[in-house]
Amino acid sequence: MEVRHHFDLKGYNTFGIQATAEYFAEFSDLEALKELITCSHDKNLMILGGGSNILITHDISGYVLHNRMVGISVVDETENHVYVCAEAGTVWHDLVMYCVSKGWGGIENLSLIPGTVGAAPIQNIGAYGAELKYSFFELEALHLSDLKIHKFDVKGCLFGYRDSIFKRACRGKYVILNVTLRLAKHPVPNTSYHSLQKELAALRLPSVTIKDVSETVIRIRRSKLPDPKQIGNAGSFFKNPVVEKDKFLFLLKGFPNMPHFDMGDEVKIPAAWLIEQLGFKGYREGDAGCHVDQPLVLVNYGSATGPQILNLSESIIRKVKQSFDITLEREVNVI
């Protein structure tokens, strides 16, 4: 087990931000993780997965531990469901593809979401009418203080919109080790999301399978979102804001074409639309900018620093607040 000093993290975050970790090590099993945690007891500790949902704004003091624990296994099954456990370092999309290939349904709408399995419950990842919580069964996490393994079920995770207990009360207190999903053996494809429904209808398929859903989601995502290998980014930088219906009706008077999604007493408004109305689509400050096709995605055109991208995001938040009286929340974790 090698601990490296002053390690460059540029290749370990999808923004491609230049930053240095004081100490860096990788772990591929529980005992190695425990040993590293013990070694770092008097220093800061950061667990790194795919680096696809972070913006690093400074060099990292202390230890950065990269999770390399991978693997997928079936831990239980019934007549109608299969319980699939994936190690936290497993690439999320690899897990989705494995389950789709087996005909197990529930996470196909979450195809091509970047990152690792361990990050999925922290964010309660969601896309195209689905969220992780609908297929989630439980997870195991190692407590950093006592090195004991704790289990969290759906209720224990306190899932919300791109939110969980691991972003709040348990932030920085646990390392997620694995996640178990409850998937359908005889799935009914979820085609409720409008753009997904539209794309599938255009294919004129006699019947829609979860494989069709997955392939369509992948096609849509690739057409809308830039590849981090080509241009640095962390996907959607902001959450779509949710406002009370009365406030939305007031906004609608000034912006009659404002797109929205009804949620009972609340309304979700696309953050991308708000940002585009203010002229940020394709906007650029040096090498930090908003993508030319998707203003919700902030990008690093080459040598942008974390603070430069953060400053751009703060400018967007400020102007959206001034124009719409809506406060955007970052989906990306700022470090």
Name residue 275's beta-bridge partners.
none
Q: Which helix (H) or strand (E) holds 139?
A: strand 136-143
Rg of the chain (C-alpha set): 20
DSSP conformation letters of 226-276: --TTTSEEEEE-BPPPEEEHHHHHHHHHH-TT---EEETTEEE--HHHHHH
- Which residues are CB-neighbours of 149 under 8 A, at least 6 positions away? 140, 141, 142, 143, 177
Known active-site residue 236:
yes
- Other residues' Cβ atoms within 10 Å of the Cβ of residue 228: 21
Q: What angle do CA 252, 258, 263 make, to 5 degrees?
A: 85
Catalytic residue among 87, 140, 199, 331: 331
How many whole angstroms separate alpha carbon 67 and alpha carbon 294?
Answer: 30
State how far the alpha carbon of 297 is from the alpha carbons of 198, 205, 300, 324, in Å: 23, 32, 10, 20
Known active-site residue 101:
no
Q: What angle do CA 31, 163, 116 make, to 5 degrees?
A: 40
Q: Which helix (H) or strand (E) holds 311?
A: helix 306-324
Known active-site residue 162:
yes
Nearest to 273 by CA among 256, 253, 288: 256
Residue 191 in contact with residue 207, Cβ under 8 Å?
no
Catalytic residue among 40, 52, 162, 214: 162
Catalytic residue among 40, 236, 313, 330: 236
Active site residues: 162, 236, 331
